[in-house]
Chains A and B, each alone.
Chain A
Amino acid sequence: GQSLEQPSEVTAVEGAIVQINCTYQTSGFYGLSWYQQHDGGAPTFLSYNALDGLEETGRFSSFLSRSDSYGYLLLQELQMKDSASYFCAVRDDKIIFGKGTRLHILP
């Protein structure tokens, strides 16, 4: 089976940096994805890591260590609009999501 662990909530200050960790156990693995979901909205894709290392997309970066079954999402220069839930997801033929991390941003 597959399981993913991520913190349920994280709080940070506007303008700061926050890291959301994800560990996974899976029988098949192509890569680790991250999605953002605002309240009442649909999940939207943020990033994908198939290989070890850091991928950067603007203010967001994602890291993967396949040997440690671990990844993280790094959000820099936090803005109030970044308040949302963030999901890591394991990709093999299907896509399995973690339970999500709710990010609270304080002004």
Chain B
Amino acid sequence: DSGVTQTPKHLITATGQRVTLRCSPRSGDLSVYWYQQSLDQGLQFLIQYYNGEERAKGNILERFSAQQFPDLHSELNLSSLELGDSALYFCASSPIRGTEAFFGQGTRLTVV
């Protein structure tokens, strides 16, 4: 158990809909990262938050947004969903400048 909790584990929704994925980082970790992993693909960096502030942005679509709350949990919002958004979405956390990122078990999103 990495200490990072993601909910829900599975999500099936229709095209055009909006979903929210939730992540609770390890206790004490201020950095949260979101990644998208499509079938047989690598981990595509979406966005990073540090202590409530956006720190870095990757290849995140404009239809996607995220935030980190004062209690350090983070949410990834995906809207106007398309079939191609079907993927595993991972959240990871680390201490500041930590060498290791701890991953949650992921949310498998299926858009039908």
- Contact mask for chain B residues 5-35; partner A; CB cutoff 8 A; 1 contact, 0 none: 0000000000000000000000000000101
Contacts of A43 in B (CB 8 A): 43, 90, 92, 103
- The answer on a CB contact under 8 Å between A93 and B48 is yes
- Given A43-B90, A93-B48, the answer on whether A48 and B56 have CB atoms closer than 8 Å is no
The one of B42, B50, B102 that contacts A87, using a Cβ cutoff of 8 Å? B42
- Contact mask for chain A residues 31-53; partner B; CB cutoff 8 A; 1 contact, 0 none: 10100000001111100101000
What bracket does the count of chain B residues touching chain A fall in? 20 to 34
- The answer on a CB contact under 8 Å between A100 and B33 is no
Who on chain A is nearest to B100 by CB? Answer: A45
Complex alpha-carbon distance, A65 and B90, angstroms: 29
Kindly identify, within residues 59 to 110 of chain B, every residue whose CB is under 8 Å from any CB belonging to chain A. 90, 92, 94, 97, 99-106
Q: What residues of chain B have their CB less than 8 Å away from a CB belonging to chain A?
A: 2, 33, 35, 41-43, 45, 48, 50, 55-56, 58, 90, 92, 94, 97, 99-106
Can you identify 24 A-B contacts, CB atoms within 8 angstroms? A31-B99, A42-B90, A42-B104, A43-B90, A43-B92, A44-B2, A45-B100, A45-B102, A87-B42, A87-B43, A93-B48, A93-B55, A93-B56, A94-B58, A95-B33, A95-B45, A95-B92, A95-B94, A96-B45, A96-B58, A97-B35, A99-B42, A100-B42, A100-B43
